[in-house]
Amino acid sequence: MATYIVLLGPPGVGKGTQANRLSQQTGLAHISSGDLFRENIKNQTDLGKLAQTYMSKGDLVPDDVTIAMIKDRLRRPDCAAGAILDGFPRTPAQADALEAMLADFDGRVNVAPVISAPRNVLVERLSDRWTCRESGHIFNMKSNPPKVPGKCDLDGSELYQRDDDRADTVSKRIDIYMEQTTPLITYYRDHGKLVEINGLQSIEQVTQTLLDALKNKS
Ligand code: AMP
């Protein structure tokens, strides 16, 4: 049976970094809804143009559009063994839709780790965050800097600061997480899938805790 991991947590807590590391260690596909939208924006697709109007303000893209995009992505062959979902689901409607999608593949969510950190830490991390334009790989100028300033360690591509990592938008994104996404913590706890993880630990410690959680819940 395929393995599906739903990574929960506010913007800036390290979901992208951890999803990348978990993907390398488990071989499961890393699906980031934010990266999929950004790819569509880069390619100026209709979906990208629509998503941009929401993302630039820090708002969520509507559920129907987001659900259709993820459904399409989960059908690709690299997800045959399962996937690590980073940034999806973000609303109860998306969580219900995910259950239905996985039931179609005869799968289920194995574990839903929620990584937490205080608001001031999130704001500081996001303002120091630089992202690779090509791979989406994430660096932090203070805690996890690239070897060559401004260049991705993986492929040497340019690093940039996301528009929505500006202080005013960051604050709104954290508020939206608190209002719309935290109900999922109860949802996955009630389903026996939730594992709470302290996001103030080192990157390596968080990865280890995630791997342990996966082993226990699989
Ligand atoms: P992220 O890269 O996960 O921080 O997402 C960046 C932005 O993409 C969010 O602020 C939303 O505008 C949009 N987005 C990403 N995932 C979702 C989702 N599951 N539902 C709605 N909007 C999303």
Q: What is the pLDDT of residues 136-191, one digit of tens each?
A: 889 999 989 999 999 999 999 999 999 899 888 999 999 999 999 999 999 999 99
Q: Is 162 a catalytic residue?
A: yes
**Domain residues for 58?**
3-117+181-217
pLDDT tens for each residue of 183-216: 999 999 999 999 999 999 999 999 999 999 999 8
Q: What is the domain count for the chain?
A: 1
Residues 7-44: tens digit of each pLDDT: 999 999 999 999 999 999 999 999 999 999 999 999 99
Which atom of ligand 1 is nearest the CA belonging to 38?
Answer: 8
Residue 97 is assigned to a structural domain of this protein? yes
φ, ψ for residue 67 (rounded to 5)? -65, -45
Residue 20 lies in a domain: yes
**161 in a structural domain:** no
Mean pLDDT for the stretch of residues 72-78: 97
What CATH number corresponds to the domain at position 112? 3.40.50.300
Tell me the C-alpha distance between 32 and 95, whole Å.
Answer: 15
The set of protein residues with a Cβ atom below 6 angstroms from ligand 1 is 11, 33-34, 37, 54-55, 58-61, 66, 87-88, 90, 94, 164, 173
Beta bridge mates, 192? none
Instruction: Give yes or no for a contact between 110 and 193, defined as CB atoms under 8 angstroms apart.
Output: yes
Please name the residue whose Cα sits nearest to atom 6 of ligand 1.
34
**202 found inside a domain:** yes
Q: Which amino acid is at 93?
A: A
- Asked if residue 32 belongs to a domain, the reply is yes
Domain-embedded: residue 107: yes
